[in-house]
């Protein structure tokens, strides 16, 4: 077994940042009908020195080893990072992070955590913008 597969299995068996936040500011949940993965991500966004940052993050749900490991790895990497940076993350970033070649059926599994994370921070960011402008 190679080092990348070992890392994926470790994150699957011992997920980092798994659970719920007591008071998240941003949340989103998605379901992958192709394989049955369900992912919820809760984020606490706070003001940083120059822009909002991911102050804390948790994920929960059920899924295959790839989706769970991807969520665990991704939450570790975005913790304390600016929200603007999180929104710029690409699918290639996730593939590089996992370091293993994926079958076409596992690509959606790997990208589900990124999709949910970006949806959460974007949804709330849009809402906050609407509230400031008096739309909401």
Q: Could you list the residue range(s) of the whole structural domain that residue 19 is in?
A: 3-123
pLDDT tier, 2 (very low <50, low <70, confident <90, very high otherwise): low
In a domain, 129, yes or no: no
Based on the structure, what is the number of domains in the chain?
A: 1
In a domain, 131, yes or no: no
Q: How far apart are CA 124 and CA 1, in angstroms?
A: 41
CATH of the domain at 114: 3.90.1010.10
In a domain, 86, yes or no: yes
Give residue-wise pLDDT tens across range 73-124. 999 999 999 999 999 999 999 999 998 888 888 999 999 999 999 999 987 5
In a domain, 132, yes or no: no
pTM of the predicted protein model:
0.87
In a domain, 55, yes or no: yes
Helices (H), ranges, 53-103: 65-78, 83-88, 91-98
In a domain, 54, yes or no: yes
Q: Which residues contact 126 (CB under 8 A, 6 or more apart)?
A: none
């Amino acid at each position: 077994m190679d080092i990348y597969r070992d890392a994926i299995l470790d994150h699957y068996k011992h997920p980092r940042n798994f659970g719920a936040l007591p008071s998240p500011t941003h949340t989103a949940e998605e379901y992958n009908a192709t394989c049955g993965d369900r992912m919820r991500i809760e984020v606490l966004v706070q003001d940083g020195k120059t822009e909002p940052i991911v102050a804390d993050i948790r994920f929960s749900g059920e899924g295959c080893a790839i989706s769970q490991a991807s969520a665990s790895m991704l939450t570790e990497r975005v913790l304390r990072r600016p929200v603007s940076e999180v929104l710029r993350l690409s699918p290639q970033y996730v593939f590089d992070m996992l370091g293993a070649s994926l079958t076409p059926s596992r690509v959606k599994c790997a990208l589900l955590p990124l999709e949910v994370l970006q949806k959460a921070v974007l949804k709330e960011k849009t809402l906050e913008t609407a509230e400031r402008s008096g739309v909401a």
